[in-house]
């Protein structure tokens, strides 16, 4: 049989093997099928008046109107231990990409050997200097698929790093808002305690004059101690908030003030973008997509492992009986070139099982990608409805506060006239402070929700949030 005929038979056999592999490759969902049914607009646009588009901003920092808060975010991104650790892990993964891509090109090794042999009384020395080359021909693209899978994994890691950066920025803002709200509540508790102290003096004088009973004085003092207990709990919450912020910033514990408690940071309402745009720019969706892409490429590679592999090995060397370079390089060249085809025949079905497992993993990653898409849309819907709800609640609370303030003034007049007892007076004053505390919490919740909405829409920290 001539060499040409032999090569044709091998090529024909390999082609049949590739055809058989492609027909056995099971069909699974395509990536674009995960978002074919996304809505063209948000539900709240149908429930309420349409949301008016605002000037486009695609960065979280563009929504913040507090310079000190922006500087804290920058400090957290520069010094947060978890973020820096993750950045180095991503960097290491990028460097390891070369190991995978190197498998597609031939390897060349320098060989230098020295040996000594003894036969009877004769001792001979042998020296060898040469080159070895090895190459696995990527005929089916298996190595290319493995390289593509690794590159997609690396891209997914970069998107996950971006998502963590955004999460840390959001955590800084949320801790700031929480710290502001706690400080405002502390001020309210202090004012309330001061009011109770004034009422105590008034009731004590009335008790000495025989105008009120001892139970009235006891009620005031019970309320005072209860308020002091609440203040202690609030102080602990403020301290915990401070410690959490320090950890986020990568700082050691200190007594330095981190939050400007005198001002609620104004966070602009993010401009509304279409659902399709959310899918395009959210880091977690992009990370899930590249994980899916990696598993798809790995699936092809595992099925191609069932096909024959072609390897070429060669060597080029010179051998001499002296360590002298002149003698070694002056000797005859010894070379060899070996080509081979290996077809897996019997491996107890391990390769087939591995291929089928990779197919199941790829399909599972499609469902994970699908869930990420649906979850992101739900998060945006929830935040949009919450913004609408909080705005209405604040309007109602403002009206309630006017009514409570009016009731407080009426009870103070009635108490001075002896028409109501001390309990009615305390209750009316406490109602005002409770409403004020509720309003503070609602304001902080609204700013917090706007931050959540910005991140749910995929707003990054920079004006152009792209991974290249």
User: Is residue 465 domain-resident?
Assistant: no
Residue 334 has what pLDDT?
Answer: 74
User: Is residue 22 domain-resident?
Assistant: yes
Alpha-carbon distance of 30 to 43, in angstroms, equals: 27
Task: Name the domain count of the chain.
Answer: 1
Alpha-carbon distance of 445 to 447, in angstroms, equals: 6
Low-confidence stretches of the chain (pLDDT < 50) are 1, 3, 5-7, 9, 16, 20, 23, 46-57, 463-468
Q: What angle do CA 423, 429, 435 make, to 5 degrees?
A: 130
The parent domain of residue 105 ranges over 3-456
> Do 154 and 297 touch, CB atoms closer than 8 A?
no
Alpha-carbon distance of 396 to 129, in angstroms, equals: 90
Alpha-carbon distance of 133 to 144, in angstroms, equals: 20
Alpha-carbon distance of 153 to 103, in angstroms, equals: 18
Report phi then psi at 321, rounded to 5: -100, 15
Burial string for 381-404 (b: 16+ CB within 10 Å, else e) reads bebbbbbeebeeeeeebeeebeeb
Residue 80 has what pLDDT?
Answer: 93
User: Is residue 224 domain-resident?
Assistant: yes
Q: In what order do the strands lie in the sheet with 333-342?
A: 107-119, 122-137, 309-320, 333-342
Q: What is the pLDDT of residues 96-150, one digit of tens each?
A: 888 877 778 888 888 877 777 777 777 777 777 788 888 888 888 888 888 889 9
User: Is residue 450 domain-resident?
Assistant: yes
User: Is residue 289 domain-resident?
Assistant: yes
Residue 342 has what pLDDT?
Answer: 78
User: Is residue 468 domain-resident?
Assistant: no
Separation in Å, CA 200 to CA 176, 313, 422: 36, 98, 10
User: Is residue 270 domain-resident?
Assistant: yes
Query: Nearest Cα to 290, choosing from 200, 158, 114?
Result: 158
337: CATH = 1.20.1600.10
Q: What is the pLDDT of residues 335-366, one digit of tens each?
A: 777 878 877 777 767 888 888 888 888 999 99
User: Is residue 467 domain-resident?
Assistant: no
């Amino acid at each position: 049989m001539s060499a040409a005929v032999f090569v044709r038979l091998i090529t024909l056999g390999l082609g049949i093997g590739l055809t058989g592999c492609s027909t056995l490759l099971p069909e699974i969902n395509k990536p674009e099928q995960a978002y074919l049914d996304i809505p063209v607009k948000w539900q709240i646009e149908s429930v309420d008046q349409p949301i008016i588009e605002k000037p486009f901003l695609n960065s979280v920092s563009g929504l913040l109107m507090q310079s000190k808060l922006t500087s804290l975010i920058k400090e957290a991104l520069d010094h947060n231990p978890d973020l820096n650790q993750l950045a180095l892990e991503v960097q290491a993964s990028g460097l390891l990409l070369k190991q995978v891509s190197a498998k597609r090109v031939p390897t060349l090794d320098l060989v230098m050997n020295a040996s000594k042999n003894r036969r009877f009384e004769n001792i001979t020395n042998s020296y060898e200097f040469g080159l070895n080359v090895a190459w696995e021909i990527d005929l089916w693209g298996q190595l290319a698929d493995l390289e593509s899978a690794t590159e997609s994994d690396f891209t997914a890691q970069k998107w996950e790093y971006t998502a963590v950066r955004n999460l840390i920025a959001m955590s800084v803002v949320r801790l700031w808002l929480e710290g502001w709200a706690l400080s405002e509540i502390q001020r309210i508790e202090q004012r309330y305690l001061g009011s109770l102290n004034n009422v105590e003096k008034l009731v004590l004088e009335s008790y000495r004059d025989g105008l009120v009973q001892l139970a009235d004085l006891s009620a005031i003092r019970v309320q005072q101690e209860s308020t002091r207990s609440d203040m202690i709990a609030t102080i602990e919450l403020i301290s915990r908030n401070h410690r959490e912020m320090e950890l986020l910033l990568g700082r050691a514990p200190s007594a330095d003030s981190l939050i400007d408690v005198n001002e609620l940071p104004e966070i602009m309402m993010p401009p509304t973008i279409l659902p399709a745009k959310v899918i395009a720019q959210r880091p977690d969706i992009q990370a899930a997509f590249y994980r899916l892409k990696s598993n798809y490429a790995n699936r092809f590679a595992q099925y191609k492992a069932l096909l024959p592999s072609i390897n070429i090995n060669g060597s080029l060397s010179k051998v001499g009986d002296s360590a002298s370079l002149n003698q070694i390089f002056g000797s005859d060249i010894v070379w060899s070139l070996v080509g081979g085809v290996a077809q897996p025949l019997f491996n107890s079905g391990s390769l087939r099982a591995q291929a089928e497992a990779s197919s199941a993993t790829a399909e599972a990653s499609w469902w994970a990608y699908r869930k990420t898409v649906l979850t992101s849309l739900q998060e945006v819907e929830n935040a949009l409805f919450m913004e609408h709800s909080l705005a209405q609640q604040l309007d109602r609370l403002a009206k309630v506060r006017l009514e409570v303030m009016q009731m407080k003034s009426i009870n103070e007049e009635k108490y001075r006239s002896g028409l109501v007892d001390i309990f009615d007076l305390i209750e009316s004053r406490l109602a005002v402070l409770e409403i004020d505390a509720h309003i503070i919490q609602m304001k902080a919740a609204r700013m917090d929700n706007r931050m959540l909405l910005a991140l749910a829409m995929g707003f990054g920290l920079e004006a152009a949030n792209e991974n290249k």
